[in-house]
Amino acid sequence: MATGQLFSKTTQALFYNYKQLPIQRMLDFDFLCGRETPSVAGIINPGSEGFQKLFFGQEEIAIPVHSDVAAACAAHPTADVFINFASYRSAAASSMSALKQPTIKVVAIIAEGVPELDTKQLIAYAKANNKVVIGPATVGGIQAGAFKIGDTAGTIDNIIQCKLYRPGSVGFVSKSGGMSNELYNSIARVTDGIYEGIAIGGDVFPGSTLSDHVLRFNNIPQVKMIVVLGELGGRDEYSLVEALKQGKISKPVVAWVSGTCATLFKSEVQFGHAGAKSGGEMESAQAKNEALREAGAIVPTSYEAFEGAIKEAFAKLVEAGKTTPVKEITPPQIPEDLSSAIKSGKVRAPTHIISTISDDRGEEPTYAGVPMSSIVEQGLGVGDVISLLWFKRSLPRYCTRFIEICIMLCADHGPCVSGAHNTIVTARAGKDLVSSLVSGLLTIGPRFGGAIDDAARYFKDAYDKGLTPYEFVESMKKKGIRVPGIGHRIKRGDNRDKRVELLQEFSRSNFPSVKYMEYAVEVETYTLSKANNLVLNVDGAIGSLFLDLLAGSGMFTKQEIDEIVGIGYLNGLFVLARSIGLIGHTFDQKRLKQPLYRHPWEDVLYTK
């Protein structure tokens, strides 16, 4: 491995398996370091393509999303780092795919628990092809002031405290990602900070070793001293011992192997990492520390003395004139996200939508404040849900039952009415369900199913003014307006609409008052004296009875009733109900595999 620097201020990466937070942290670090271009060139999300919006400083940018590794590498040939956030189940396959791409030089595998055989295959391929694997089970790595992998070094506050926004003089390598954060802080307190830091990962077989990176650091001129944090278990540290003995490392190495407390336990102890388990005396922390000390590394007597040893080694370099501490700079301020600023009370922002009928922010959605589970547990029906979402209150059972009856009675009226006909023609043209449904719904209006609101409005106005049926009908005639809710193409005075009769029967048995409906019946009596087809139709029945429901329930003010009628609530009932039938007609035509509809010539009057 050896060679030198892995990253620079122009390094770009491909990020596998989209995770918003670590990518945004990388971009915030870029801005903090004064990078001109984002370090994340592209995102790979298997099966997805498009863009993800993120922030680069104050600017919102769109990062391309690719569906596979090869496509991403082809689109971003300058991106040579592959950051793999896949789970342990797929991390090996996706990492191997990346290693086989000629543009990728470094692969960082974040997942823990990658099968050891798969890891060995990755290591062998990387060594044979002069590539670098960091991990598995790693947080990644960082080059101060230039580039960082994923969540390395944690939050922006921690990065600033550790002075990682500009390069220092110390090369650091550790097995532990968590302890890396601790050491970045310690090193920043007693030196001019990190130049590059790597966490090789805590699995038994890391893709690269402690000595691999120490030898690399030795070849980087800006690195003046090296800090190593090992741990009990395995024999990785002994390769570093051999390198020191052979004189391959010319820079001061301050090292500590954690886990010395393991000797206090009577049985073998497994620490946090898979590889942190002493398999014998040579793998103990004490043996490794002693071997490193004998090989020439600076090894303190305890972890508590580690920071002091680092401080002393750096001070000697400065005193000898071998390094000059980096001058401190003031990093730019990272813009705070609006959501966090609002949460902390620093800013206020207007909302763009107001909703009073439902809320999905808690453990479960609520309809007008009623939890969904409560609706199910109480055995409530569709009418109850409509009462909550449309009227924002729980109406009495007779009211919700009436709503359900209206929906059932208006669900369909055969294939010949205009709405059903349009839906059938559209379905037979091969269109999808939504298109077929909408084509039928768009015919609903004053001539087809859309007269419920108008019927309610005119009947209410006439009744409230005390007009007799004669005065009401004749006044409408003078205005040139047909009475909404009166008249039918098929039904007659001697062949009433069964739906109207069912609604009247239910309301007379259950409603406290049916004054508006009785008024509509009186109007019907007068209109039938003029023509036998001027019967009260289903629109008129629903419109007048809904007025009785609203007024008789005692739960609505006069102003609320006027608003409900004016907004179009009642036509909403017909739209909801008829959607059931229109969907049925769509499925029926699809099921029957009916061909494209063409209207017959003989049914058209061709004229000049």
For residue 36, the domain's CATH number is 3.40.50.261
Give the pLDDT confidence of 45-58 residue by residue, as tens digits: 998 999 999 999 99
In this predicted structure, which of 260-274, 372-386, 411-425, 440-454 has the lowest mean pLDDT? 260-274
Domain boundary among 287, 320, 353: 320
Residue 41 lies in a domain: yes
Domain match, 37 and 149 both: yes
Residue 257 lies in a domain: yes
Chain centroid, CA 19 distance in Å: 10
Domain match, 302 and 180 both: yes
pLDDT class of 81 with cuts at 50, 70, 90: very high
Domain match, 460 and 576 both: yes
In this predicted structure, which of 156-165, 346-355, 395-404, 534-543 has the lowest mean pLDDT? 346-355
Domain match, 126 and 241 both: yes
According to DSSP, the residues that pair with 50 across neighbouring strands are 65
The reported pLDDT for the residue numbered 346 is: 86
pLDDT class of 451 with cuts at 50, 70, 90: confident
Domain match, 307 and 441 both: no
Domain match, 25 and 137 both: yes
The reported pLDDT for the residue numbered 336 is: 86
Which residue out of 273, 352, 421, 599 is catalytically annotated? Answer: 273
Domain match, 438 and 552 both: yes
Domain boundary among 291, 320, 349: 320
Evaluate whether 198 touches 174 at the Cβ level (below 8 Å): yes
**DSSP letter (8 states) at residue 172:** E
Domain match, 430 and 316 both: no
- Report the alpha-carbon distance of residue 5 to residue 9 in Å, rounded: 11
Give the pLDDT confidence of 526-575 residue by residue, as tens digits: 999 999 999 999 999 999 999 999 999 999 999 999 999 989 898 899 99
Does an H or E element contain 351, and which? none
The reported pLDDT for the residue numbered 278 is: 56
The reported pLDDT for the residue numbered 341 is: 87
Residue 441 lies in a domain: yes
Report in angstroms the alpha-carbon separations of 567 from 354, 454, 483, 571. Answer: 17, 11, 20, 9
**CB-neighbour burial class of residue 441 (10 A; exposed 0-12, middle 13-18, buried 19+):** middle
Instruction: Provide mean pLDDT across the span 181-202.
Output: 96
Residue 67 lies in a domain: yes
Give the pLDDT confidence of 141-162 residue by residue, as tens digits: 999 999 999 999 999 999 999 9
Domain match, 305 and 421 both: no
**CB-neighbour burial class of residue 288 (10 A; exposed 0-12, middle 13-18, buried 19+):** buried
| Residues in CB range of 315: below 8 A, 6 or more apart | none
Provide Rg for the chain, Cα atoms: 38
| Two tokens, residue 81 | 């780092």
CATH code for the domain in which residue 566 is found: 1.10.230.10
Instruction: Provide mean pLDDT across the span 90-111.
Output: 97
Q: What is the largest CA-CA distance in the chain?
A: 118
What type of residue is 314?
Answer: F
pLDDT class of 273 with cuts at 50, 70, 90: very low
Domain match, 69 and 217 both: yes
Instruction: Provide mean pLDDT across the span 262-278.
Output: 52
Instruction: Provide mean pLDDT across the span 500-516.
Output: 96
Which residue range(s) make up the domain with 223? 13-320
Residue 349 lies in a domain: no
The yes-or-no verdict on residue 276 having pLDDT over 50 is: no
Evaluate whether 191 touches 311 at the Cβ level (below 8 Å): yes
Instruction: Provide mean pLDDT across the span 183-211.
Output: 95
| Residues in CB range of 448: below 8 A, 6 or more apart | 417, 418, 419
Evaluate whether 339 touches 36 at the Cβ level (below 8 Å): no
Question: Average per-residue pLDDT in the chain?
Answer: 93
The reported pLDDT for the residue numbered 279 is: 57
* SS3 at position 558: helix
Residue 311 lies in a domain: yes
Domain match, 316 and 441 both: no
Domain match, 310 and 429 both: no
Residue 1 lies in a domain: no
**Strand-pair category, 132-134 with 106-109:** parallel
Residue 84 lies in a domain: yes
Domain boundary among 256, 288, 320: 320
The reported pLDDT for the residue numbered 157 is: 93
pLDDT class of 277 with cuts at 50, 70, 90: low
The percentage of residues in the chain with a pLDDT greater than 90, rounded to a whole number, is: 85
Tell me whether residue 273 is one of the annotated catalytic residues.
yes
The reported pLDDT for the residue numbered 257 is: 94
Overall number of domains in the chain: 2
Kindly give the residue spans of alpha helices, DSSP state H, lying in 467-537: 469-479, 498-510, 515-528
